[in-house]
Every structure is written in C-alpha cells, then in structure tokens.
Amino acid sequence: MENKLDSGSIALFIGLLFLVALQLFWATPGVPPIAYSDFRRLLDAHEIDNLVISPTRITGELRSEQAKAALPASDAAALGGGPPPYTFSTIRVADDSLPVRLAAAGVRYSGTLDSNWAGSLLGWLAPLLLFMIVWQFMMRRGGGTRDFMGIGRSRAHVYVQRETGATFNDIAGIDEAKKELQQIVSFLCHPERYRRLGGKIPKGILIVGAPGTGKTLLAKALAGEAGVPFFSISGSSFVEMFVGVGAARVRDLFEQAQRQAPCIVFIDELDALGKVRGASPISGNDEREQTLNQLLVELDGFEANAGVILLAATNRPETLDPALLRPGRFDRHIAIDRPDLVGRRQILAVHTRKVPLAPDVDLEELAARTPGCVGADLANIVNEAALHAAEADRSSVAMADFDEAIDRALAGSERKSRVMNALEKLTIAYHEAGHALVAQSRAHCDPVKKVSIIPRGVAALGYTQQVPTEDRYVLRRSELLDRLDALLGGRVSEELVFGDASTGAENDLERATAMAWHMVARYGMSERIGLANCADDGVAHALGGAEGPRHGEHTAQCIDDEVRRLLNEAHERVARTLDDRREALDRIAKCLLDREVLEHDELVALIAGEPVQGDGAEARVREDTSGEGQSRRVERAA
C-alpha cells in the first residue's frame, strides 16, 4: 500500500530537520577549544587572562605568542594568526583548586550562566512534531482522513461527466437495465416533463446482479450520461472502529448531496452496510445498525423532487434489511442477469472494438462457446486472446487465440511440463473418452466441442468441453438424467476397461451428487419424496428468524436413498452404453493418446467408425483387461 504525505506533513518534516540543524549549529562552539590540561599549565605560567567561567565552559585569552606556541600544532592552528591576545575555550572540569590557582596567577575572571534556548526549545518541539507526523501517518493507514476532526466527514468522491469515462454506449447485453436508467437521465435533464403530471422520480434504485455483470459500470455510465455530480462511495467506508462515525458520515454525505442537487449518490456493495438487523442475538453490531438506521432516516428525510437520487448495487440482496427495500426508500429494483447468447455477442463486440481481429474470428461462435460467462469474464477472454497473439508476434488476433483464451479461462493454463506415466495417461484418455461418448450418445446433452487430455490448471488432468446450441432456462427431468449420465461416463469407462476406479472422477461425482440431490429435494422429481421442497436455503434466517431444517430425520434418510437410487440407475445406463459401443470408446481413447486434443468433427467421425487423419485405428486398444493386456496397452501408449 502506498502512503503519500500531504504538503502539511512535508512542511512539518522539513521544520523538524531545520530545528535539528539549528541545534547542531549552536551546539558547536564558535571559539577554538583547547585541552583542560593545557589550560592549567598555561594558567600556572601566567599566560592566561580575562576568563569567563560558566557551569560547563571556560573562555579566556592567551597573552603571548609563546603561549600559543606551547600548544599542540592543531590547537595552535585553530587559534588563527595575528597578534595576541588569542581567544580560546575549554570544557570545565570539576576542579576545587581552580579558584586558588586563579588567585595565585592574578587572573581577572567573571562568571556567567549557560543560555542554550535553542536546545531547550528543540527539546519541547521535536517530540511534539514527531508525534504529529506519526499521528497523521497512522490516520492515513486507518481511515484516510486528513485530521481527527474530519473523521466523521463523508469520503465520497465527486465525479462529473468527463471523469467517469463511461456512457451507455460502453454497455451491452443488459438493454432492459439501460432502458430503466435512461428514464432517470431524462428526469434529471427534463424534470418539468414529469412534474407537470405529478410524477415523482424514485428515491432509490437498487441494482442487483452476480459479480462481474456490470453493476458499477452501469452506475458510472448513468453519471456520464446525466452530466450531474456523482457521489461514489463503498458501503464498507461508513463503518469504522469509532462509535458514531458511520452515522455521522451518512449525515454528511446527504448534506453534501442536497447542496449539489440534482445529483446521484452511488453506494457500492450495499450489503456491507444494510444487512438485516437482529439476525443473530449473539453477534450483533450496534455501530453498523446505527449507521443503517441513520441511512433509513435520511432516505425518509428528503423528497424525491429534491433531485437527489440514491443508487446502490449488491450481489447479495437476500441479506438486506426489509426496511431498506420497502417503497419510499429503494422504490425500483433493477436485476441484471447473466447475458444470453445475443448479449454475449454484443459484449464481445464492445470489448473487441480496439482489437484487430483476423478474418476467421466469429463472434457468434465465441458467444455460443461461453455460456454462463458475465461481462467481466468476456473482457478477460478478449484480453487473454490479445496477449496470446502478441506473444506469437501476430498482427491480429485469430480464432486460435480465442480458443486458447477460452480454454485458459474455463480450465486454466496448460501444464505440459506435468509428467505422467503411461498408465495414468491411458486412464485419463479412457476417462475423457467415456465422457465424450456418453454425451454424444444422449439426445438431450449438449454437443461436445472439444476433448483434451492436456493437463490444465491445478487439478484438471483433462477435460471434455460441451457447448449448448441455445440458452436454456428450464430443464426437464429427462434432460437432467442425460446430463447425469454424461457426468458418470468417465468413472464407468475406467471400471469397464481396467476393472478398477481412480481418483480422477472426484469432481464428476461431486457434481452428479449435487444434481441428483437437487432433483430430489428441490425440483420434486422423485415419486417417493413427492412435490415437497426440502432444501434448507436459509429463507427463515434472511427474514430474521432462526434457521433450521424443513424436514425430519426420516425424510432426510429418504432423500439420501433417492439420490443413491438415481446415481445407481445412471451408472447402469452408462455401463450398458459403453459396453455396447466399446469399439468406439477404444478408437476415441487411442486417438486421444496420439493427438491429445479432438475437435467435434473428429469425435463424430471416430464414433461412426470413419477414418481420421493420424488416427491409427488399425492398432486399436484391445479389450482384454487382464494384467497382460494392461501391460500391452501401457507399452502401446508409451
């Protein structure tokens, strides 16, 4: 973290250095010093006169050239040239015989007090200045405030149109949300059009959506389009370690906003501030609740026609307090869903505006291959493709670069340096071949786009990529069963070929179990459980009550039994499919060992028994699963 000192801190630091230098300057004597032993010797020789004695120092004059010559060469040179007398000084030593010696030598002397006001002043000011510098540094580390008196001030940043750098033209794939916010822009620019009919603009607008869907970008675009002052602050910035600071900052924020109306106040991550109150009797946060109460009061305290519009964003609306969401506070809720096929195509077009694309790049195909990706994911894919093309020193970004970027985003970077023995590689090839063959054999499964046995990421030793032909929002029971079969294809393939199972199906089993559980407990797709929704999703907890299970132990046991039944039935179906199409399974596995990656057309040809360039289908892997057969397979794979 970078900590930058402002001009006041720099001035204090320079002043401290100046005082230290001043003290060092005054502490250095202006009169050449000599040793005390030389002083006593010259005093006994009657070569000293006109002494001034202080508690710490003695200053006087040497009477003759002979006295100067009796001193060491360095001390004599420090006294300078010219005629006598020569002024000198020495550090006073505790010597009770000094007055007697002065009287015997007949020396004229006088006393004085030490006057080092600069040192005394520095002794008081230096710790004070050092404390002030450390205080300002700690305040910046803790909260970024300029001084303690300003700790209750709002830290919202004010932006105007030219500073946000975003407009509605920079947003794609969320046309409905843009249309709703365009009404806000119209009200801010032409308020009389709505007021003449008694219309009131909503006081608060809540933008809800998954991370990366463009909530913050939408708020910046609204400020850029409206051209009005835009206050931006995070919900976590209100709550600090000091009691009452959050409420004071809320008051200060709305006071600033009303002075600059019409304006927009944007609170990002509202769930950090507006969580439901009293959710847990033992883990309350009074300071956060006081801040939320002050926000509720401020929302009720200003009129909609005042021109202050509160805009907030969150990806956890279920945790917000119901009092915050009622009409009159956040009147309008804008939900931003993950983009569909058309939306992903539009988002890719926005992010590739400044990217030189090769003629073979098809944004429609890229949009189809990225189901479930949000705007942030697509922006990352475009950036990764551009970096991959730049690394290859190409003048434009080709489709192969996007292929690599999608694979990297979905499965991680290639790990070709990971060394596997021949049996492990053969096991992975059969595992992925089982996934691909079962997926292609089911009518309701998405078609397989690519099969690879190249390790990627941290744990993926291979992957089978399926691309949906269209966006789906409702799935039937038959479709879920087909997808369940595809998930178990890898595990059943290993059992069929090797007579044993490996740990490579861990993620497949986890996803298959979750899918079967949802079918039974959520979707009512089990005759034994019936139409009851038995999922413990924490609805009671979100409403302020105690969270608990919706069913008893007997129902829980029935759910577990039904989940096992669905998985066992899927296992039997997949085993029959792979046993009936064993030759196709062997061809796919052998081709994966030879080529490591198979595209859709090559996979379809192998399943149909058609030759594929570089396939080597004549040397198929034998069906024999005995130890001798496994040894021959390992030798052939190596």
Among 102, 73, 75, which residue's Cα sits nearest to residue 89?
75
Q: Give the DSSP H or E segment for 53.
A: strand 48-53
Instruction: State which amino acid sits at residue 570.
Output: A
| The residue count for the chain | 638
Inter-helix orientation angle 553-580/422-441, to 10°: 100
455 and 439 in contact (C-beta within 8 Å)?
Answer: no
Inter-helix orientation angle 375-391/341-351, to 10°: 50
How do beta strands 463-466 and 332-336 pair? unpaired
Q: Give the DSSP H or E segment for 368.
A: helix 363-368
What percent of the chain is helix, strand and coil (3-state, nearest 5)?
55, 10, 35
Q: How far apart are CA 49 and CA 60, in angstroms?
A: 6
Spatial neighbors of 183 by CB under 8 A, at least 6 apart, are: none
615 and 463 in contact (C-beta within 8 Å)?
Answer: no
Q: How far apart are CA 551 and CA 535, in angstroms?
A: 9
Backbone angles phi, psi at 452, to 5 degrees: -140, 145
First to last CA, the chain: 52
CA atoms 497, 501, 503, 504: torsion sign: positive
Q: How far apart are CA 488 and CA 567, in angstroms?
A: 9
Residue in the structure block whose two tokens are 């998954």 = 210
Q: Hey, how many other C-beta atoms are within 10 angstroms of the C-beta on 281?
A: 7
* Cα Rg, the chain, nearest whole Å: 41
Q: How far apart are CA 158 and CA 161, in angstroms?
A: 10
Apex CA 59: angle with CA 58 and CA 61, to 5°?
Answer: 135
Catalytic option among 287, 298, 404, 432: 432
Is 583 considered catalytic here? no
Catalytic annotation, residues: 432
